[in-house]
Structure 1
Amino acid sequence: MNLSVIASESPEPVLSIALPAALDGRNGTNRARGGHLQIAADTDVEAVRLWLAEYAGSPHTLRSYRKEALRLLLWATQALGKPLSSLTREDFLLYEQFLAVPTGDWADPARPRRGGARRLFDGPLSERSRHQALGIVSGLLSYLVSAGYLAGNPLALRRRTGAAARRTQRVERYLDHALWEHVLASIEQWPRVTARELQHHERSRWLVRLLYGTGLRASEAASAKMADFYQRRGRWWLHVIGKGGTEGEVPVSVALMADLARYRLFHGLAPTPSGGETGAAVMSVAGDPHKHLTPAAVYLIVKEVLRRAAEMLAPNDPAGATTLRRASTHWLRHSAATHQADAGTDLRFIQKNMRHASIQTTGIYLHAEDDRRHAETVRKQGETALPDS
C-alpha cells in the first residue's frame, strides 16, 4: 500500500488526498446519469469533501468520518483498482472482511500514527467497530445518492445478521455504582505536594465529576464555558452545544455546583459563574481560563484517572481493575445515563439530558429491570432447590 497519496489533514480542505486520474471517479460505473446534480463535484474526492464539510462544526465527528473516508478511498483504489463510485455490494463484502483483518502496511506498527506515511489501522477492528465504520460509509453513500452523484447505495442492501440482529441491545460500556465511587475515592489519594500536583488534582477531580454529572461528551466538555452555567427559577442548568451544533440544557445538581465552586475558588474565582465570563469550564494545564482543552486532552486526563484507580483496585478486585483500564470518557456519559435510569428517572428526562434524538437510543440504559429479573429468578431457584441427600 502506498500511503504517500495522503497529504496533511489541514482544516482547509477537509480532505487532502490525490488519486490517479483513472481512478478519480469521473467515469465510475455507479455514477448517476441524466439527473440533476445537487453538488458541484466531478470526482469522488470532491464529493467526499463536500460530505465532510457538512460536519465542519463538529470536530470530533469530522475526524471520525474523515478517517473512514480515507480508509475506503485508499482501499478501493489500491486494493481493488476501482474508484469509490464503482464499488458494488460484492466489493463491500470484501471490504468488511478486510476491516476484520487489515494486513501489511495498513496496520504496520513500524509506521507512525501521524503524517503522510502513517498506518491507518492499529489492528483488526472488532465487530462493533466494523459495524460503526460501515454505518459511517453507508451515510456517505446515501448522501451522495441524495446529491445526485451516485445512482445507488450498495450498503443499503446490507442486513444485520447474527446475535446483533436478534438480541435486545443494552449498553455495557459503563461503570457500576461501586466502581464509580472507587474512582472518586481514588482521586482523593493522589499526591498533592507540589503546586503542579495540586493543580492537576483539582482539574482532574472537577473534570470527571463534570462529565459524569452532566453526561457531556469529551468534545462538549472541552468547549464548555463558565458562562454556560446559568440559573433559572432558582435552579442551575448547563447550556450545551452538542453534535451537529444541536443545543440542549442539562440540569446541574447542588453537589456538582459545589464541586464547581471548589474548582473556581482554587483558581481565585468567585464560587459561582456569571453570564459575562468568557473563561473555559475546564482550564488548561497552566490554569489559564482563556485556553480550552482539546477533546484529546480531556480523553487523556480521564484515562489517567481511570488507570490510577485501576492500579489501586487491582490487588483486591482484578476484574474491576480490568474494566477501569478499558473505560474512557464516553463510559462516564454511559454511566451517567445508566445511573439515572437505575434511580428511576423518567426515560423522557434522560433522553433530554443526554440529548438523544430518539427515545429508543435512551432505552439501552435500562438495566434495573434485568437486575430485578435476575435476582428474582435466582431467589426462586434457591427456594425450590432440593436438599443434599
Structure 2
Amino acid sequence: MSEHAITLIPALPPALDGRNGTNRARGGVAQTAARDDIEAVRLWLAEYVGSPHTLRSYRKEAVRLMLWATRTLDKPLSSLTREDFVLYEQFLAAPNGDWIDPARPRKGRERRLFEGPLAPRSRRQAMGILGGLFSYLVAAGYLAGNPLALRRARAPQASRSRRVERHLDQALWQQVLDGVEAFAQDTPRERQHYERCRWLMRFLYRTALRASEAAQARAGDFERRRGRWWLRVVGKGGVEGDVPVSDELMADFARYRAFHGLPEVPAPGEMRPAVMGVAGGDAAPLTSTALYLIVKTVFRRIADTLDARDPAGAATLRRASTHWLRHTAATHQADAGTDLRYIQKNLRHASIETTGLYLHADDDARHAQTVRETPSA
C-alpha cells in the first residue's frame, strides 16, 4: 500500500491503540502479525490497493470510526461492542461540532470528516463496509468476534426495484455532445481542454465504464480480435471483463491521440493512459476524482446554456455525474433493443436483475398508450 494511504490513518495513544482491546482474540493461531488496531486496519486496506476508488472509500470509513471511538467513547476499535455501534449509527445521522466544522481544512490530519448528516443510504453503506472490516479481522484471528454480525438485516428497500432514473435521455445527451462542440478552441490550452472533454464524454458513454475504471484504462487495453475492437477492463473487486468498442469510438480515440502527436492506433501493451493528464503524453494520468470533476464541469457549463430554453434539462445536468453516463449508456442500449444478457456483460453486473432496472421501453409504451387513448376532460 502507498505511504499516502497509510499516513491518513491517525496515530493513537498507547492506551487506545488496541493492543489490549476487550475484543482481541486470545489463543488460537493468528493469520496476521498485526499488533494493534492501526496495523490491523492497514492490513485490511492493503487488500484493496489495486482498486483506488474502493480503497479511498474504505479508508474514509475506517478513519471515521477509529477517531469517533477514541475521541467519543475513549475506546479502541478492538473494544467496540454492539451497543457502541448503535450509538455510532445515531452519530452518523447527526454529526455535530468539530466533526462538521467548516473552518477545518478539507485535507490533512486536522480535516473535518463530515460535510453534514449522512443520508440513510450512505449510513447503510458505511455500516456495510465496517461489517466487512470486522469480519476480516475475525477471520485473521485478530478479533474474537464481529459486533456488527448482530445487526438486524434490513428488508430490501422498495426503491431498489424501481427503474434507474439517473440517466440522460437521447435528446439531452445530444445537447451535451453539441454543447461540448461549442467550447472555445482559440488558444492551445482551450483546444486541449476541448479535445479532452470531447474524448472523455464519448469514452465514458460508449464503454459504460466507472470513473475509476476509466482512470486506470491504458491504451494497450484496447485489443483487436477477429476484426473487432474490445476494451479489457479490471472492475470492482479486481474482476476482469471486456467491453465491445465501436469503430466510431476508435475513430474518436484516433483523433484524440493524433491531437497529442501519437499514432492513431494504440500499440499492444502500450501503458499510456486512455485519458491523458493535462500535459498529455507519458505524464501522470488523471485520477478518478479528476475525471469526475471534469465531467461535472462539462455538465454544469452546458446546463448554464440551457437555462432559458430547457430549464428541466439544465436541472438534470446539474445533478448528473460520471456514473450517470454509465446509466445513460445502459439505458440507451436497452432502448435500442440490445439483449439484456449482453448489457449485463457490458456493465459486468453480477445479477441480471440489476441490469433489468435499465429497461424503460415498456414504461414508455404504457405511458404513450394511456395518454393517447384516455379521452380529454
TM-score, normalized by the shorter chain, greater than 0.5: yes
Q: Is the 8 A contact 1:230 1:274 kept in 2?
A: no
Q: Which residue of 2 aligns with 1:316?
A: 309
162, 169, 174: which one pairs with 1:176?
169
1:85-117 superposed Cα distances (whole Å, 9 cap, x missing partner): 222222222212211211111111111101121
Q: Which residue of 1 aligns with 2:246?
A: 253
User: 1:167 offset after TM fit, Å?
Assistant: 5.4
317, 328, 333: which one pairs with 1:335?
328
1:246-275 superposed Cα distances (whole Å, 9 cap, x missing partner): 322110012211211221232333332232
User: 1:142 offset after TM fit, Å?
Assistant: 1.5
Q: For residues 277 and 52 of structure 1, do their structure 2 counterparts lie closer, same or farther at Cα, with a shift above 3 Å needed?
A: closer
Between the two proteins, the alignment pairs up a number of residues equal to 376
Q: Does 1:158 align with 2:134?
A: no
Mapped partners of 1:223, 1:24: distance in 2: 35
TM-score, L = length of structure 2: 0.91
Q: For residues 278 and 21 of structure 1, do their structure 2 counterparts lie closer, same or farther at Cα, with a shift above 3 Å needed?
A: closer
Q: Is the 8 A contact 2:10 2:109 kept in 1?
A: no
Q: Secondary structure at the match of 1:365?
A: coil
Q: Does 1:113 align with 2:74?
A: no
Mapped partners of 2:156, 2:269: distance in 1: 52
1:179-220 superposed Cα distances (whole Å, 9 cap, x missing partner): 221111110111111121111101110011101111112222
Consecutive unaligned residues in structure 1, runs of 5 or more: 1-8
Q: Secondary structure at the match of 2:3?
A: coil
195, 205, 209: which one pairs with 1:202?
195
Mapped partners of 1:356, 1:347: distance in 2: 11
Q: Secondary structure at the match of 1:239?
A: strand
Q: Is the 8 A contact 1:217 1:330 kept in 2?
A: yes
1:246-305 superposed Cα distances (whole Å, 9 cap, x missing partner): 322110012211211221232333332232544222222233244322222212211111
Which stretch of structure 1 is more off in the superposition, 261-270 or 309-318? 261-270
Q: Is the 8 A contact 1:14 1:49 kept in 2?
A: no
Q: Does 1:148 align with 2:141?
A: yes
Q: For residues 288 and 271 of structure 1, do their structure 2 counterparts lie closer, same or farther at Cα, with a shift above 3 Å needed?
A: closer
Identical residues among aligned pairs (%) = 69
Which stretch of structure 1 is more off in the superposition, 265-274 or 219-228? 265-274
Q: Does 1:72 align with 2:65?
A: yes
Mapped partners of 2:114, 2:277: distance in 1: 30
Q: Is the 8 A contact 1:211 1:333 kept in 2?
A: yes
| Coordinate RMSD, CA, aligned | 2.3
TM-score, L = length of structure 1: 0.89
Mapped partners of 1:198, 1:170: distance in 2: 38
38, 50, 67: which one pairs with 1:57?
50
18, 23, 42: which one pairs with 2:35?
42
Q: For residues 96 and 226 of structure 1, do their structure 2 counterparts lie closer, same or farther at Cα, with a shift above 3 Å needed?
A: same
Q: Which residue of 2 aligns with 1:6?
A: none
